[in-house]
Structure 1
Amino acid sequence: MGGDAVARADARADHFLGLAGAQIVATDALLLTQDNLADVIAAKAMMCVHGDAGLGKTLSVNASLRALAPGMVCRVQFRARPTARDIRHELFAALGIGGSPPGKPIEFDQVLKDALAERFRVLVCDEAQWLSRECFEYWRHLWDDRRTDIAIVFVGGGNCYQVLRREPMLSSRVFVWQEFRRMSPEQVLRVIPAFHPVWANTDPEVIAFADTHAGHGNFRSWAKITAHADRALARSGRDRVDREVLGWVFTKLSGRSA
């Protein structure tokens, strides 16, 4: 698979459900993310991107870094409470270091630092709200080392902001904090028609109705609405979404009759 094909596949994977036809829209939040990441990369600093689930944080960071730091990004992600040992092993794999991981922490850290000193990288830690004090201290340890050549981006939902703020040794080093919020009704009417062809010719009143009852300014919710609406149009032979189609979609989302 060529580089362009890989990039397209990565971009599609960023969308919830790998939604075919979905476009990355230059929202205010995405444009701000690009500006902030450019500053963080230039300063080789740390950034925290936080906000509720489904607002497009990871998508915005990934899309921005594909443009700003191609070939320089190393991503790690955790779904449970990791330890410093887990971070070591995830980084070892993500950095593509050959051989077997060292058995002793001191030796392991030396191997990681050697790899992180070879060239500049942006380390992205997704689901950062799961990290403990020990884990945050480990990230700080890597970044503080004078040999490592890195920027670090923490991306987290829920209480990520509060978790990082409770760690003054790390939070004092965060160069940029960015909060993601739900799209306003006005933003929804501007963004959703460009998000997917399903909505390109849809009556704005129908889009507003969908947002009020199911979308709630949340990109992940809109991806689900869009996937169901696209199937409904294909099965019914209709050419645009209306309230009747939305009624069918809402039953899929709620599990209850319209």
Structure 2
Amino acid sequence: MTRHLPPAPTDQYVALPDARPVTTRALLTVRENPTDTIAARAMTCIHAGAGFGKTVAVTSCLRELEPDQDIHRITFHARPTTRAVRHELFTSLGLPGQPPCYAGEFDHLLKTELATHPRTLVLDEAQWLSSDQLEYVRYLWDDPYTQLAIVFVGGEGCHQTLRKEPMLSSRIFIRQRFTRLTPDEVQDVIPLYHPIRAEATPGDIAFADNHAAHGNFRNRARLTAHTHTALERTGRTHVDQEVLRWAFSRLGSGN
């Protein structure tokens, strides 16, 4: 669980000097959707397969709003209990003292705090939430005095999980599904991602995407890191298919 939003340097999946955020169509849409959701004090769902960049995109966009918004991100790595969700909210909100022992008292405390001023909860890896926890989130959001906007972020199963809860699903204001980068997007954005890609030929960019990255940004980040290592160790100044094949071998990709 993280309190508020993590620092910008942690956005990169791997530590890669000189890597830059790039603007894809999905990222442009993300800039609009959480902003509109927060303005409406609503709930939204942003989901995709692993490595498509959804969490990085949401976090980087919300970070731009954070000076004017009270934003808290909670990340789930396993199926939590409702009690665990209460405790993570208690910690993220920075409430003093010890958490209450009884559910009713705990809920009263959380709802009272959430009514003091507008807040945004970002629930990352939301596919781990079960029916009881999703109902609990809706319970807090539905309270007439809490001032909540909620951004669900999750893997491919996230939207299906929410759809199983009609009371919650009917309240989703915006749904966005991240997809793989198209071949045209790959050609447009990859040269901007890192200096070693800036002079790559369209053929080499397509070669790397077809054999290893497959339109997945996390794959591309790993591939770029290994390519960077190859250039440093060999003293080469530019990427070619021999360098790429060595990087592929580290990813277990075909060549």
Shared fold, TM over 0.5: yes
Q: What is the CA-CA distance between 1:36 and the residue it aligns to? A: 1.1
Report the 3-state secondary structure (helix = DSSP H, G, I; strand = E; otherwise coil) of the residue aligned with 2:115. helix
Determine the structure 2 residue equivalent to 1:19: 16
Match of 1:149 among 144, 147, 150: 147
Determine the structure 2 residue equivalent to 1:245: 243
Matches within 5 A, 1:109-148: 109-148=107-146
Say whether 1:50 aligns with 2:52: no
Task: List 4+ stretches of structure 1 deviating above 3 A.
Answer: none
The change in CA–CA distance for 1:255 and 1:31 in structure 2 (over 3 A counts) is closer
Q: What is the CA-CA distance between 1:225 and the residue it aligns to? A: 0.2
Greater mean alpha carbon deviation, residues 139-148 or residues 106-115: 106-115
Mapped to 2, the partners of 1:141 and 1:125 lie a distance apart of 15
Mapped to 1, the partners of 2:95 and 2:238 lie a distance apart of 51
Q: What is the CA-CA distance between 1:255 and the residue it aligns to? A: 7.7
Say whether 1:161 aligns with 2:159: yes
Match of 1:217 among 215, 218, 238: 215
Mapped to 2, the partners of 1:13 and 1:225 lie a distance apart of 18
Report the 3-state secondary structure (helix = DSSP H, G, I; strand = E; otherwise coil) of the residue aligned with 2:177. strand
Unpaired segments ≥5 residues, structure 1: 1-6
Report the 3-state secondary structure (helix = DSSP H, G, I; strand = E; otherwise coil) of the residue aligned with 1:161. helix
Determine the structure 2 residue equivalent to 1:39: 36
Q: Which amino acid aligns with 1:135?
A: Q
| TM-score, normalization by structure 2 | 0.94
Unpaired segments ≥5 residues, structure 2: none
Q: Which amino acid aligns with 1:141?
A: Y
Mapped to 1, the partners of 2:168 and 2:41 lie a distance apart of 15
Determine the structure 1 residue equivalent to 2:87: 89
Say whether 1:28 aligns with 2:25: yes
Mapped to 1, the partners of 2:196 and 2:118 lie a distance apart of 41
| TM-score, normalization by structure 1 | 0.93
Determine the structure 2 residue equivalent to 1:67: 64
Q: Which amino acid aligns with 1:53?
A: A
Say whether 1:170 aligns with 2:168: yes
Alignment coverage as a number of residue pairs: 250
Mapped to 2, the partners of 1:172 and 1:20 lie a distance apart of 44
Report the 3-state secondary structure (helix = DSSP H, G, I; strand = E; otherwise coil) of the residue aligned with 1:202. coil
Determine the structure 1 residue equivalent to 2:233: 235
User: Which whole-Å deviations, capped at 9, do the CAs of 1:23-66 have from their partners, x for residues lacking one?
Assistant: 11121101101111121011000000011111110011101111
Report the 3-state secondary structure (helix = DSSP H, G, I; strand = E; otherwise coil) of the residue aligned with 1:16. coil
Report the 3-state secondary structure (helix = DSSP H, G, I; strand = E; otherwise coil) of the residue aligned with 1:40. helix
User: Which whole-Å deviations, capped at 9, do the CAs of 1:170-210 have from their partners, x for residues lacking one?
Assistant: 00000000010000011001111111112111112111100
Q: CA RMSD in A?
A: 1.5
Q: Which amino acid aligns with 1:74?
A: H
**2:211 and 2:253 in contact (8 A); partners too:** no
Give me the identity figure in percent.
52
Greater mean alpha carbon deviation, residues 188-197 or residues 132-141: 188-197
Mapped to 1, the partners of 2:253 and 2:78 lie a distance apart of 29
Q: What is the CA-CA distance between 1:69 and the residue it aligns to? A: 3.4
Match of 1:188 among 182, 186, 191: 186
Report the 3-state secondary structure (helix = DSSP H, G, I; strand = E; otherwise coil) of the residue aligned with 1:118. coil
Greater mean alpha carbon deviation, residues 16-25 or residues 199-208: 16-25
**1:12 and 1:20 in contact (8 A); partners too:** no
Report the 3-state secondary structure (helix = DSSP H, G, I; strand = E; otherwise coil) of the residue aligned with 1:17. coil
Mapped to 2, the partners of 1:171 and 1:145 lie a distance apart of 17
Q: Which amino acid aligns with 2:64?
A: A
